[in-house]
Structure 1
Amino acid sequence: MPEQLPTLPGAEQLFEEFPSGLLVTSTTGLILKVNRTFCSWVGMPAEELVGLKRLQELFTMGGRIFHQTHWLPTLQMQGSLSEVKFEVRHKDGRTIPMMMNAIRRVGASGSYDEIAVAVAEERNKYERELVAARKRADELVLKERSAQEDLTISQARLRQALRIGALFLWEVDVASGRRRYEDEAARLLGFEAPRPVTDVMYAGAIAPHDREKEAEAFAHAIDGTLDGYQCTYRLNGVDGVQRTVVSSGQGFFDQEGALIQFVGILSDVTEPTRQRALAEDRALFAEQMVGIVSHDLRNPLSAILMGIKLLAHEETAPGKVRVLGHVTSSATRAQRLIEELLDFTQARVGRGIAVVPRPFDLHACIATIVEELALAFPDRKIVHQRLGEGQVVADPDRIAQLVGNLVGNAMAYGTPGGTVTVSSSTDQLTASLRVHNTGDAIPDVQIASLFEPMVRGVPGDSGIRSVGLGLYIVKAIAAAHRGGVTVTSSRDQGTEFVFTFPRIS
């Protein structure tokens, strides 16, 4: 069955209803004919356009300039124009982007231009988006370039810092689990210049006694058992030098716990380790020497004190008795200093201060000590307070030494003429001794190091001198009794040292 063809519109109807705008203008742009499609786009009927307006009058200022400088000369020279975009003004003032194609016809009665127009709103939007995308792309390129430059600078700084700090990088090949070292790490193996270092080569250089420890630490870091990896071990270099290395690293894992990256740093600490060991040896030697000298001085001083007592017993002349008293005081002070040095050496070098626990009455012991101290400080008042039954198992001689040191400290740093209170108390499980004095508060920054050796305050007019071992020995005696000592100090409440220990040590 033959196809039934539609009735075609006439030429005039086709012109008016064509889906593109159609215009005929003079060579100067005067509109001679226009279809309804174009008229509807610009919001003006043909009666307001034909013979009254030139096409360029509908353009924006930029379009008018382009029409004058390019449109007219091009049509004059080559007779046509294709795909030229203009912003055409609607009657209400808004602009509509339109693409125009023009051809110049030359007839017997003169020349005219035929123009086909299409609205380019979507194309214009696309072009704007394309321009915006290109701008964003250019900005991203600039940012990427800047980031690459910053990365290059950062890498250079990192490399410089690693070189100055004698640090070397390594990482883990996630696929094989093997470690990869930078060529500079060859220096740790005793090579004079950088060279490739394999995992097997490096592992073989680790001292045999350190290999198991290092391998275990690395395995725990790789499987995520430990957060990070750090291990100190020794490397036997090809140059015959054994170096001490600190190797540290950090693994990064995905949500399933699989390793995705591991980076590490090697640091040569051979010299600092050697210097630290040397310093420790020197300190130990000095402390041992102090102990030896103090021990050797104790016997002659004891003989001197014994001789002074015999001379004082037989001497009756007041002047000589006074001189012997000064000598006795000086020798006693020297003996006390030697005893402190011996205790200090025993606490630092040995296994701590030795104690011989036995049952005794704490209250009675402290009362006797307070009486003796009252004779040593005749111009100061010492009060003894007691609480509980008083039976303990401890070393009474060390307890007396502890109380003597604390009271001496209170006399040196407390208010001149102020009262010093010594309290002894017991309960079912513990015993405690408190020594309280009034006076200026101990600064907070000093309390933290108060029980360290060679730390002293600044006594007023007490006349007491020491090498700063008293409170260190107090702490050592407390530790030997499985107890502890604390201090609180304020201007209003005064200063109080509290020694607490088990009733049965």
Structure 2
Amino acid sequence: MSVEATGIPNAEALYQQAPCALLLINEKGLILEVNQTFCQWLGHTREQLIGTRKLQELLTVGGRMFYQTHWMPLLAMQGFITEVKLDFLTSQGTVAPMVLNAGRREHEGQVLNAVSAFIVADRMRFEQELLQAKRQAEDALQRHVVLEHELNRQRELAVDRALFAEQMIGIVSHDLRNPLQVVSMAAQYLRSQDMTERQDTMLGHIGEATTRSQRLINDLLDFTQARIGQGLAVSRAPIQLDRVVAAAVASLRLLHPHREIAFSASDEALFCQADADRLAQLLGNLVSNAVTYGDGASPIDVRVSAAQGTVEIAVHNVGNPIDETQLSTIFSPMTRGAEAGREVRSVGLGLFIVSEIAKAHGGVVEVVSTAQAGTTFAVRFPAYASGGH
């Protein structure tokens, strides 16, 4: 089958319309042959180039310098050059970047250089976009490093401020004990004297105030110890839990004479290992919470029980349920209820201390609060420490 029959262009047409520029130059760069593609790219005719122009004359100033100092010496030395980028000037004065390959050959005693070239304008734009994206990424990374450094600095400052505040709480709370003890001793002495009914009432208020202040100081000291140290210290010893809790409830009845506090325990004697003073403190905080937020007309129920090596202390009260949004943070420090109409306020450490005491005994504290059933705080911990009985 002949070429004409198949409709395939002849070799000359393929050469002239090749997708790359094809040139033939002599040792001095004079253009001896060129295809139509190169002419179209630069806006010249073949007649304007062949035998009249040198390849280097079509380059930018920088391209001419490279051609003279690198291109020709390297081509003469090794006989070929691959993928060298040079900028050509078009007839309109614009720049046409091209990548060139060249090979040296001899023909009838004459040295000739065959050159092929490809327009790389799109490639350059892509490379410039990549370079710009790289610079933007580096700038973003630098900004991120600066912001991270500033964030770390602010975090360190916040930690220092928090530590300082907690240390100050501990120091102030400790120093407040002495004047309160003086007030308490003076009130006890005055009670032994003949007092009028009004004076006796006022001394009662002084006693209640000093008791509340002492409990607040204890909470602040425990908070400081828990946050700065390694948790609350407990001294576990064998106790009969129902008797310890019953004695604590009796003291709480004196502290809250206007509230009914009921106590119950399971039939069996509840022996365990625990810190009796810490459990009394835990119970005091739970009952105080029930007094503050519970229904004043309904009793507060305190119950102790045991099951499968675990003991439980539960405090229940009737009243408005705890908002669901507060349940997840109710045992966090400085968290408190904000029920309208309440006159009693605290710094919000009571339930945090309860949680820390439970943890110190290897246990947990949980709360269930609904409108129908009321609110129950339950503290559960192992009856005996690991390895102890």
Asked if Structure 1 and Structure 2 have the same fold, meaning a TM-score greater than 0.5 normalized by the shorter chain, the answer is yes
Rounded Cα–Cα distance in structure 1 between residues aligned with 2:350 and 2:334: 9
Contact residue 300 and residue 315 of structure 2 kept, 8 A:
yes
Per the TM alignment, residue 151 of structure 1 is displaced from its structure 2 partner at its CA by: 11
Rounded Cα–Cα distance in structure 2 between residues aligned with 1:356 and 1:450: 26
2:215 to 333, 336, 342: 336
Rounded Cα–Cα distance in structure 2 between residues aligned with 1:487 and 1:275: 36
2:282 to 398, 402, 420: 402
Per the TM alignment, residue 494 of structure 1 is displaced from its structure 2 partner at its CA by: 1.4
Aligned to 1:310: 189
2:142 to 150, 166, 175: 166
Rounded Cα–Cα distance in structure 2 between residues aligned with 1:154 and 1:488: 59
Per the TM alignment, residue 435 of structure 1 is displaced from its structure 2 partner at its CA by: 0.9
Question: Taking structure 1 as reference, are residues 166 and 335 closer, same or farther at Cα in structure 2, changes over 3 Å only?
Answer: same
Aligned ranges 1:255-404 → 2 under 5 Å: 269-387=148-266, 388-404=268-284
The one-character-per-residue Cα deviations of 1:260-307 (angstroms, maximum 9, x if unpaired) are xxxxxxx76222212211211121111011101111111221122011
The one-character-per-residue Cα deviations of 1:8-43 (angstroms, maximum 9, x if unpaired) are xxxxxxxxxxxxxxxxxxxxxxxxxxxxxxxxxxxx
Per the TM alignment, residue 375 of structure 1 is displaced from its structure 2 partner at its CA by: 2.5
Contact residue 240 and residue 271 of structure 2 kept, 8 A:
yes
Rounded Cα–Cα distance in structure 2 between residues aligned with 1:271 and 1:333: 43
Rounded Cα–Cα distance in structure 1 between residues aligned with 2:142 and 2:320: 51
Question: Taking structure 1 as reference, are residues 151 and 367 closer, same or farther at Cα in structure 2, changes over 3 Å only?
Answer: farther
Aligned to 1:417: 297
The one-character-per-residue Cα deviations of 1:69-121 (angstroms, maximum 9, x if unpaired) are xxxxxxxxxxxxxxxxxxxxxxxxxxxxxxxxxxxxxxxxxxxxxxxxxxxxx
Rounded Cα–Cα distance in structure 1 between residues aligned with 2:155 and 2:250: 48
Per the TM alignment, residue 496 of structure 1 is displaced from its structure 2 partner at its CA by: 1.0
Question: Taking structure 1 as reference, are residues 394 and 164 closer, same or farther at Cα in structure 2, changes over 3 Å only?
Answer: same
Rounded Cα–Cα distance in structure 2 between residues aligned with 1:155 and 1:450: 53
Contact residue 208 and residue 255 of structure 2 kept, 8 A:
no
Aligned to 1:436: 316
State the number of aligned residues. Answer: 263
Q: Within the alignment, does 1:487 sit opposite 2:367 as a pair? A: yes
Question: Taking structure 1 as reference, are residues 326 and 153 closer, same or farther at Cα in structure 2, changes over 3 Å only?
Answer: farther
Contact residue 364 and residue 381 of structure 2 kept, 8 A:
yes
2:332 to 427, 432, 452: 452
Code of the aligned partner of 1:306: M
Code of the aligned partner of 2:364: G
Instruction: State the TM-score, normalizing by the size of structure 1.
Output: 0.48
Code of the aligned partner of 2:348: G
Aligned to 2:377: 497
SS in 1 for 2:192: helix
Greater alpha carbon shift after TM alignment, 433-442 vs 374-383: 374-383
Rounded Cα–Cα distance in structure 2 between residues aligned with 1:155 and 1:402: 65
Structure 2 unaligned spans of 5+? 1-123
Rounded Cα–Cα distance in structure 2 between residues aligned with 1:158 and 1:440: 60
Code of the aligned partner of 1:389: A
SS in 2 for 1:166: helix
Structure possessing the higher relative contact order (Cα contacts under 8 Å, 6 or more residues apart): 2
Aligned to 1:130: none
SS in 1 for 2:366: strand
SS in 2 for 1:315: coil
Code of the aligned partner of 2:155: R
The one-character-per-residue Cα deviations of 1:452-498 (angstroms, maximum 9, x if unpaired) are 11111024556432110000100110111111111111111211111
Aligned to 1:222: none
Contact residue 430 and residue 500 of structure 1 kept, 8 A:
yes
Question: Taking structure 1 as reference, are residues 400 and 163 closer, same or farther at Cα in structure 2, changes over 3 Å only?
Answer: same
Aligned ranges 1:176-187 → 2 under 5 Å: none
Rounded Cα–Cα distance in structure 2 between residues aligned with 1:364 and 1:426: 14
Contact residue 412 and residue 460 of structure 1 kept, 8 A:
no
Per the TM alignment, residue 438 of structure 1 is displaced from its structure 2 partner at its CA by: 1.6
Question: Taking structure 1 as reference, are residues 271 and 306 closer, same or farther at Cα in structure 2, changes over 3 Å only?
Answer: same
Question: Taking structure 1 as reference, are residues 504 and 151 closer, same or farther at Cα in structure 2, changes over 3 Å only?
Answer: farther
Instruction: State the TM-score, normalizing by the size of structure 2.
Output: 0.62
Rounded Cα–Cα distance in structure 1 between residues aligned with 2:356 and 2:125: 60
Per the TM alignment, residue 308 of structure 1 is displaced from its structure 2 partner at its CA by: 1.1
Q: Within the alignment, does 1:477 sit opposite 2:357 as a pair? A: yes
Rounded Cα–Cα distance in structure 2 between residues aligned with 1:446 and 1:156: 50
Q: Within the alignment, does 1:426 sit opposite 2:311 as a pair? A: no
Rounded Cα–Cα distance in structure 1 between residues aligned with 2:368 and 2:204: 38
- Mark the structure with the bigger radius of gyration: 1
SS in 1 for 2:258: coil
* Root-mean-square deviation over aligned CA pairs: 2.8
Paired-residue identity, %: 44
SS in 1 for 2:159: helix
Question: Taking structure 1 as reference, are residues 157 and 334 closer, same or farther at Cα in structure 2, changes over 3 Å only?
Answer: farther
The one-character-per-residue Cα deviations of 1:401-423 (angstroms, maximum 9, x if unpaired) are 10111111111111231221111
Aligned ranges 1:19-38 → 2 under 5 Å: none
Question: Taking structure 1 as reference, are residues 462 and 167 closer, same or farther at Cα in structure 2, changes over 3 Å only?
Answer: closer
Aligned ranges 1:38-77 → 2 under 5 Å: none
Contact residue 414 and residue 438 of structure 1 kept, 8 A:
yes
The one-character-per-residue Cα deviations of 1:346-388 (angstroms, maximum 9, x if unpaired) are 1111121111111111111111222222222233222212124
Q: Within the alignment, does 1:466 sit opposite 2:346 as a pair? A: yes
Question: Taking structure 1 as reference, are residues 451 and 151 closer, same or farther at Cα in structure 2, changes over 3 Å only?
Answer: farther
Question: Taking structure 1 as reference, are residues 420 and 274 closer, same or farther at Cα in structure 2, changes over 3 Å only?
Answer: same
